[in-house]
Structure 1
Amino acid sequence: MTKAKMNLGEGSIGKLLINLAFSAIIAQIVNVLYNIVDRIFIGRMANGEIAMAGVGVAFPLLMIISAFSALIGMGGAPLAAIKMGEKDNDGAEKIISNSFSTLVIIGVLCTIVFLIFRENLLFAFGASEATIGYAMEYLTIYLLGTVFVQIALGMNPFINTQGFAKVGMYTVVIGAIINIVLDPIFIFVFDLGVRGAALATILSQFVSAIWVLFFLFSKKSILKIRKEYLIPDFKVLLSIVALGVSPFIMQATESIVLISLNNQLQMYGGDLAVGAMTIMSSIMQIVTLPLLGLSQGAQPIISYNFGAQNIKRVKRTFKLLLISCLVYTITMWASLMIFPEFFVGIFNKKPELIEITAWGMKIYFAGILIFGAQIACQQTFLALGQAKLSLIMALLRKIVLLVPLIFILPSLVSEGNKLMAVLCAEPISDILAAITTVIVFTIFYKRTFTKNVEDNSKIT
């Protein structure tokens, strides 16, 4: 038995979660820098608030691209971990190899389709005549690196799920450092503007993709990409997509949310309100991605031990994950309510943009204090292979609640309060979805854990 396997099955859960989650959190925080550093430098350009609004309009398409990487990566990685727990490494390697070839195919298709329809999509997503030029410049160059994005984001979970969290962290750190160094050079020194920001991003993703592939083809990796498994197997691919559809929906629907918000904010607040949402969505990434890092740290432990039928370790890992997520979101909620101007000032120093964004943040982020409970439960569904439940919970917050409320609430208030009503949709949906998810998790998993314990008792 390898050291990685032994630790997942027998090591201290607290130490395992700290080691795996720390690396995953650092990776997620650094991953945020890809987009946030772009926006920080873009915000300091001439007409920075308009340029940032243009990039913000393009961002939903970037989220759709990353959602496809989550479809395959976050769908395949838990299945590979479960196979490892069942001592079926050959089955795990078939999953990882199928995932790689599928990600390449998706990357090529996304590049072609989005390049053809990019202008129409950007106008539909809330671009104005003032922002369309910036949005087109950024998106066109970014799309040329779509295959690199798919490989870097989609294959990295297969490194983490084997217990090599530090290697997975380096994937993101290396790319982010390159992005941070190249951004000011391309944007200001070479005077490429938003095109320079996009170019820096895809070059950094290219290096990250090379790093991931180098490791997965190396002797250090427990699981290898095998050429005999590169031709997609429909049955394997179906199981990957079935599990990955939940994180795909989570990210893809986030783009739908941003499209809806941008359109409504453009209607009631103009380009300045769209620019404010670009900043708030960046801050939302800062809040949510470390949560995903925590859950990614817990995922290999939960998936491996569920496959090994060690239910006690699954339950203990979830409880620790839940507490950690709640402590984090409560802390972030307090910080955002007390110091909103500090967070806004990272991106732009113009008083009018700071004023509207700081005001909007106190509304938009009011419900995140219990958001940690939803993420912990939803990601545990995913780690246990419960694709349907995870999908339902993913759809609940954004599609069932948030998107309709973005359009309904403004129609219920007077003219002067419509902008506030649009922002109120976020905390209302956050609170209702978190409460529902916790209730569903409690009901279904008390039954699941009890059944597994009874079955194990009968066997022994």
Structure 2
Amino acid sequence: MAENTSQQRSSRELIMLNEPISRVIPKMAIPTIVAFLITSVYNLADTYFVSSLGTNATAAVSVNGSLDQIIMMAGSMLATGANSYIARLLGSREKEKANRVLSTAFFLAAAFGLIILGLGTVFIDSMVRLLGATDSCETYSVQYATYVLLVAPFMATSFVMNQCLRAEGSAMLSMIGMGFGGVLNCFLDPLFIFGFGLGVTGASMATAISKLVSFGILIFPYLTKRSLLRISFSRFRPTKEILYQIVSVGSASMFRSALGVVSGIALNNIAGSISDSVLAGIGVSTKIMMFPFSFILGFGAGFQPVAGFNWGAKRYDRVRECYRFSAKTALTGSVIAGLALGIFAPQVIQLFTESDPDMMYIGSLCIRLQCVALPIHAWGAVVNMFCAGLGYVHGAMLIATSRQGSCFFPVLFPLAHFFGGTGVAATQAVADALCIVIIIPILRKVMRMVNEAEAEYRMQQKG
């Protein structure tokens, strides 16, 4: 077993430190992109099948998108922080410490998930109202939230395992775990909604079962010792150093998720105050835009551990090359995806409604405007992942909180007040465009950091 682990480590180091960047990043990113895409299908499947029950049911599922983000918030901070720290530890050959980081993140995520389960179940009616449910869709919202809450601990820990499998170079295992659950959900949705006649409750049950299956697949390599790292309660070490490293980097992801929740709730409440059609249109377009976002996030997630590993190994030339390759690829891909989706936006929205022209108009407009700003979003995601991979907490935090925070709220209320539903549909695109004023100075700062670290390392080598 020790010999096998040593061979895995040597193979991983060879790939991370010597294989051309144009090969290693796609090798890490493609399985992650596929997993994110399947997860997007998974989220959209509920909306697609529920849409046949009417606009109110569609609005209810859209409202509960914020519940998914709350659960994500519990796991994403630990997952992203652990991913970055583990990649750097493995780059500097500190495997046992990486095991402790993984185990600590896993059990803390489980605890956070249990807290969400408890509070959400007790205050479920108040919760869905807070998330933006209107009088006409509140009952559906409660039905959908019920079973999703039950699997909150499994969802939170799955985020950690998913990210940490990628950090150790096992992106394929990560893809299988997340992807199989998504495919299963597409089959279970029609069975539970229509076959068993359970309606929105059936969609929630199908989602919960799929999340449990994903959890089982992701934990399997850890239980059978087929992964490079190990999860065990004996390695649970919430020491000051480990918590600082996880939280300092992961806090950017947590704040991004938290702002996603707050901005989503604000958007839902404003849209719902106009009409259920506007609420449904915004919700559907948000889920559709997760497809190009999946490419962006998946590519960034594949790039981050490569940058972090080479940073830990002091291969600064490859760190810079990682960024250049990733930025060019993300920008090119986002332009192509934005053009394709923007052109066919009305036809895509029509899949979710044929009898609600207001929903079609708002949804199509929202998609097209976000497609225009998609290259800026893609570039910002790469710079954000670059900061996180190198442990530059401040830069990662500023970028992570800009899209749905510092650049979002200043334009949300004025646009909604003066332009109504059209202004609500334009809010995210305008915020994405504004992010450029934050991204540029942070990129300059992190590049200076790389150059200074390289100069210091060369001085030490000479000395």
- TM interval, short-chain normalised: over 0.9
Structure 1 stretch 70-79 or stretch 356-365: which is displaced more? 356-365
Q: How much does 1:370 deviate?
A: 2.1
Q: Which residue of 2 aligns with 1:448?
A: 449
Taking the aligned partners of 2:460 and 2:326, their CA distance within structure 1 comes to 30
Note the C-alpha offset of 1:231: 5.2
**TM-superposition CA deviations, 1:219-249 (whole Å, max 9, x none):** 3211111332125334322321221111112
Does the alignment pair 1:233 with 2:234? no
Is the 1:74–1:247 contact (alpha carbons within 8 Å) kept by the matching residues of 2? Answer: yes
The residue aligned with 1:333 is 338
Of the three residues 60, 67, 75, the one matched with 2:66 is: 60
Instruction: Note if contact 1:83-1:92 (Cα within 8 Å) is conserved in structure 2.
Output: yes
What one-letter code is carried by the residue in structure 1 that aligns with 2:457? N
Give 1:303 shift.
Answer: 0.7
Query: 2:308 and 2:223 mapped to 1: Cα distance?
Result: 23
Instruction: Quote the residue 1:280 is aligned against.
Output: 285
Q: What do residues 244-264 of structure 1 show as CA deviations (whole Å, max 9, x unaligned)?
A: 111112222112111111121
Aligned to 2:438: 436
Query: How far 1:421 sits from its partner (Å)?
Result: 2.3
Once the two structures are superposed, residues 72-100 of structure 1 have per-residue CA deviations (whole angstroms, 9 ceiling, x without a partner) of: 11110110110011111111011001111
1:57, 1:122 within 8 Å by CA — same for their partners in 2? yes
Instruction: Give the TM-score normalised by the residue count of structure 1.
Output: 0.94
User: Aligned AA for 2:442?
Assistant: V
Corresponding residue for residue 271 of structure 1: 276
Match of 2:24 in 1: 16
Cα distance in structure 2, aligned partners of 1:4 and 1:346: 44
Q: Single out whichever of 212-221 and 200-209 deviates more from structure 2.
A: 212-221
Report how far residue 365 of structure 1 moved. Answer: 4.1
User: What residue in structure 1 maps to residue 387 of structure 2?
Assistant: 381
Are residue 179 (structure 1) and residue 185 (structure 2) matched? yes
The one-letter amino acid of 1:348's match is T
Q: Distance in 2 between matches of 1:409 and 1:231?
A: 48
Matches within 5 A, 1:384-403: 384-403=390-409
**1:115 alignment counterpart:** 121
Q: Is the 8 A contact 1:37 1:180 kept in 2?
A: yes
The RMSD of aligned alpha carbons is: 1.6
Counterpart of 2:338, as a letter, is W
Q: Is the 8 A contact 1:31 1:176 kept in 2?
A: yes
Q: Is the 8 A contact 2:62 2:280 kept in 1?
A: yes
How many residues are aligned here? 452
Q: CA deviation at 1:418?
A: 2.4
Deviation at 1:351, TM superposition (A): 4.6
| Helix, strand or coil at the partner of 1:223 | coil
Residues in 2 aligned to 1:173 and 1:359: alpha-carbon distance in whole angstroms: 30
Supply the AA of the counterpart residue of 2:353: N
Q: 2:421 aligns with which of 416, 419, 422?
A: 419
| Number of the residue aligned with 1:39 | 47
Q: Which residue of the partner structure matches residue 7 of structure 1?
A: 15
Residues 1:124 and 2:125 are matched in the alignment = no
- Cα 1:177–1:446 shift into 2, 3 Å: closer
Which residue does 1:313 correspond to in 2? Answer: 318
Q: CA deviation at 1:337?
A: 2.6
Cα displacement string for residues 259-287 of structure 1 (whole angstroms, at most 9, x for unaligned residues): 111121222x3111001011111012112
State the alpha-carbon separation in 2 of the partners of residues 36 and 410 from structure 1: 26
Query: Could you tell me which of 202, 212, 216 is aligned with 2:218?
Result: 212
Which amino acid in the other structure matches residue 452 of structure 2? K
Q: Which amino acid in structure 2 is aligned with residue 454 of structure 1?
A: A
Is contact 1:336-1:362 (8 Å) kept? yes
What code does the residue aligned with 2:137 have?
A: T
Deviations 1:410-446 (A, max 9, x none): 34x3xxx32222333222211110342123212x123
**What does residue 6 of structure 2 align with?**
none
* Alignment CA distance shift 1:364-1:456 (3 Å): closer
- Comparing 347-356 with 151-160, greater Cα deviation is found at 347-356
Q: Is the 8 A contact 2:387 2:446 kept in 1?
A: no
2:251 partner letter: V
AA paired with 2:209?
A: L
SS at match of 1:248: helix
Counterpart pick for 1:77 among 69, 72, 83: 83
Q: Kindly provide the amino acid, as one letter, of the partner of residue 346 in structure 1.
A: L
Return the letter of the residue paired with 1:419.
G
* CA distance, structure 2, for counterparts of residue 29 and residue 77 of structure 1: 20
Matched-pair identity in %: 22
Q: Aligned in 2, Cα 1:439/1:232: closer, same or farther, shift over 3 Å?
A: closer
Q: Structure 2: how far apart are the matches of 1:233 and 1:452? A: 27
Q: Using a 3 Å threshold, how does the CA distance of structure 1 residues 356 and 225 change in structure 2: closer, same or farther?
A: closer
Aligned equivalents of 1:423 and 1:332: distance in 2?
19
Give the AA of the match of 2:21: I
Contact 1:365 1:426 in 2 (8 A): no
Q: Residues 109 and 367 from structure 1, CA distance in 2 versus in 1: closer, same or farther, beyond 3 angstroms? A: same
Give the one of 159, 164, 172 matched to 1:153. 159
How far off is 1:453 after superposition?
Answer: 2.0
CA contact (8 A) 1:64 1:252 kept: yes
Give the alignment's TM-score, normalised by structure 2: 0.94
Deviation at 1:341, TM superposition (A): 1.2
Q: Which one of the candidate residues 304, 317, 321 is aligned to 1:299?
A: 304
> In 1, are the aligned partners of 2:81 and 2:250 still within 8 Å (CA)?
yes
SS of equivalent residue, structure 1 residue 348: coil
C-alpha distance in 1 between matches for 2:436 and 2:299: 17
Gaps spanning 5+ residues in structure 1: where? none
Contact 1:98 1:233 in 2 (8 A): no
Cα deviation for residue 208 of structure 1 reads: 1.2
